[in-house]
Structures are given as C-alpha cells and as structure tokens.
Structure 1
Amino acid sequence: MFIVMEGIDGSGKSTVARLVARDLNEEAASTQVGGKTEIGVADAETGARAARLRDLIWASPESAGDTFGASHWILLIASWYAGLARLRPDLAPEHPGVTVMDGWYYRNIAKTLIREPVDPSWVESLFAPVPEPALTVLLDTAPELAWRRREAFKDTELGRWDGFHGPARESFHAYQSVVRNHLLRMARARAWLVLSPGPDESPQETADAVVSEVRARLAGPALASNHPSSRPATEG
C-alpha cells in the first residue's frame, strides 16, 4: 500500500510520515518511509542518469532564480516521477508492503500553476505515467501555524520565485495560502483524506488518525468510506 502525506511547506508531513510508518511497522514489518528522491536498487548507468536528473531538480542554487521558467522545471520533475514509477516496485498497487511518502508531485503542480499561466490539464497530464497513491492524506495546516513550526524557510517556500517579495512572514502566509487552495482543489477531485491539525494537536495524534484510516481501508472499502477520521475537502 502506497501512502502519501501532502500539505503546504511546514505542515508536518515529514514528522507525521515517520510516525505513521513506525506505528504501522509494529503490525507489518515491511512498512517503510520512502523518499521521493530515492530510486531504489538500480544498475550503475541508471543510477548515474538518475543522479544527474536529481541534481538538476534539487541541487540547483536558489540564488540563480527561475531562469528557465516553470514549464522547464515541471517537465524535469515529471521525468523524475515517471522514472520512479518504473524503478520503485514498492510504489506499485500490487506491492504487498506499505510505503509512506513525505509528499508527492502535487505541490509541484500547485507551484507551477502559481508561477506561470499554463493550462492546468496540461500540467496534470505530464504525470499520467505516475502511480496514484492508495491513500493521500492532506494535512490542511493553516499557513500561520506552519510558520510558527519552523525557524527558517527557503526562498521557494516564501514564494520569492513566484512574485511574493514582501516581509518573510507575510509572503509565506500569502503564498502558502494559494498553494493550500490548489491542494484542496486536488483533494476534492482525487478523493483524498483531509485532516486539519489544530495548534494543540500533537503530530502523534495526527498520525493516529492516519493509522486508523489505513487500518479501516485495509479491512474493507465499506468500512473505510464511513470511517470517522475522514472528511470532505473544503475551501481554506
């Protein structure tokens, strides 16, 4: 079962993903946290090609700015995820184990649509070869709460590449609010599980809700659809 934690920057995806994997691992030893920048086992040539593509996407200096434009980046990113679909058997629907991922390609779509006036259907079509998770959980965290959880954010997380140039806190809130609305739109279209952790809710409590949903889905579709931890997506 392939599970993804999604949300704005600073929403707690990494922490909750680790907790979910740990708790599920107590029941199924094959549970693992799978990084989206990892290709798994591959031959030397494939590994070298993957490393070059990974460096182009994630090792480019932010000080250079977005010279080539959003369409350039989303094409590179789509190429990466298409490769993962072929190289990572743990992401396939028939795989018997459980992989919990911190984020998938959805924020990349959201940020592309903010950066350039491109056709949303074209952007989403680039990811047609990529497997959809069995369960995507949107941690619908308010930007102000996400801001308080971290000491610093990168320029791309502040929206500096996307026209947000005010004070850091105000830019983060404005930018991530737009990202959040795009994610909520995708949540409605793709039937994600949406959780809204409050300021007093611990990451473990959020992870408990995810684990409860996973157990319900593994027990049967009818039980999962009526599970109290899920709610329909709404505009934020």
Structure 2
Amino acid sequence: MLIVLEGIDGSGKSTVARLVARELAPGRTAPAGKKDIAAADPGTAARADLLRELIWSSPEEQGDTYGAAHWILLIASWYAGLARLRPELADGKTVTVMDGWYYRNIAKTLVREPLDAHWVESLFAPVPEPALTVLLDVAPEVAWSRRDGFKDTEIGRWDGFTGPPRESFCGYQSLVRRELLRMAAERGWPVLTPDPDEPPEQIAAAVVAAAHARRRTP
C-alpha cells in the first residue's frame, strides 16, 4: 500500500510522512525515498545515476534552459523506472510512505509553461497511483515561516519570479497550490488544512486514520 503526502514546498510533508511511516511501517525511521530506484545490476544502476544527476544535480543558476517539456520527460522516465524496479510500491500488502510523488512536478510544469495538462499527466500512465494520497493544504505564507531558507526553484526563480524572496515564494507557490488542489478535486484525495499551531503528530494521526479506513474499504 503506497501512501503519499503531497503539498507545496514547506508544507510539512517530510515531517508528517516520517511520523506516518513510524506508525504504519514499524522499524523504518523515515519514509521511503523517491530517489532510490533500487537497481539490481551495475548497468541499470549506472543509468539511474546519470538520470538522477540530470534531474536533481543541475546547478540552479543555469535555470530551466531546456524548457519544461524536457524536464517533465526526465521526471516521467525516472518514475517509470521506479515503478518497474520497485514492485513493492504497487503491493497491497507492503506499506510504503512517500514524502511527495510526481504530482508536484506536474503542478510546477504547468506553472512554468502553458503545456497541455492532459499530455503532461499522460506521461505518468505507467506509474501506479498511490492507494492513498493526502494533500496538506498549507498557505504559502505559513510554509515560508516554517523553514530558514528555500532553493531558487522553490522561490520561483526559474518561473519568472524576480522580486524579494518571500514575495516571490508566496506568489509562485500559490500557483503550485492551485494546481495541486485541482488534482485533489479530480482524483478525490483527502485534503487536510492544518492550523499553523497544530502539532504534526495530530496531522499524522489523521493520515493514519485515513490509511486504516482505505485498507478496510473493499
């Protein structure tokens, strides 16, 4: 059973996912990682390393030189490999908790360029849908206050936001949030709107309850 916590940057996904994994997958100290493709042979591992480098290790100052379509195709290739090489993600018996899935990548792509949403989402057809995706709907202003700093890609520098960091972050993440809410409505995700003073343990408890309810549903 794949459980995913989704939300804008700084929404608390990592913290809540860690607590949910501790409750539902005893023995794990952290949620499963999307960047671990679990390649079994050296050749596949080498190709995964190259793809990982292209996606996540490019210098931020270069910007999105190849465009959003190129970037999302790389992301789709990664997730297709992830689905093929990690069958436990589609296993109804194994509980796997993920801090985000590919949905935020789709949202950021649609913010970056006016691509066809149906085409972008179709690129991920080979990837299994999580058994449960919970959207943590946190206002950008709240997310900004939770962390000491954000990367240029999170502030929207690759997407035309050139103002003061906080103003750019809130403007950019508002657009990403809008796309995530659209996907939540279309896919029927539970949406949690945490109070800024609400402890993460309380949010995690709500996710755990939703997971138990989903497992009981035929």
Q: TM-score, normalised by structure 2?
A: 0.96
Which runs of structure 2 are paired with 1:124-135 in the superposition (5 Å)?
A: 124-135=121-132
Are 1:212 and 2:209 matched, yes or no? yes
Gap runs ≥5 in structure 1: 222-236
Partner of 1:196: 193
Deviation digits for residues 130-151 of structure 1, max 9, x if unmatched? 1100000100011111000000
* Alignment-mate amino acid for residue 63 of structure 1: E
* Alignment-mate amino acid for residue 121 of structure 1: H
The share of aligned pairs that are identical, in percent, is 70
Partner of 1:78: 76
SS in 2 for 1:101: strand
Cα displacement (A) at 1:217: 1.6
- Aligned equivalent of 2:116, options 116, 119, 138: 119
Partner of 1:63: 61
Partner of 2:173: 176
Deviation digits for residues 1-40 of structure 1, max 9, x if unmatched? 00000000000001100000001134xx689721111112
CA distance in 2, matches of 1:132, 1:8: 19
CA contact (8 A) 1:140 1:195 kept: yes
CA distance in 2, matches of 1:168, 1:41: 38
* Alignment-mate amino acid for residue 193 of structure 1: P
SS in 1 for 2:213: helix
Which runs of structure 2 are paired with 1:1-236 in the superposition (5 Å)?
A: 1-26=1-26, 33-92=31-90, 94-221=91-218
CA distance in 1, matches of 2:66, 2:201: 41
CA contact (8 A) 2:22 2:28 kept: no
CA distance in 2, matches of 1:218, 1:187: 20
CA contact (8 A) 2:17 2:30 kept: no
SS in 2 for 1:198: coil
Partner of 1:234: none
CA distance in 2, matches of 1:38, 1:104: 13
Taking only aligned residues, the RMSD between alpha carbons, in angstroms, comes to 1.4
The size of the alignment, in residue pairs, is: 218
CA distance in 1, matches of 2:187, 2:108: 18
Cα displacement (A) at 1:95: 4.1
Gap runs ≥5 in structure 2: none
CA contact (8 A) 2:25 2:96 kept: no
SS in 2 for 1:205: helix
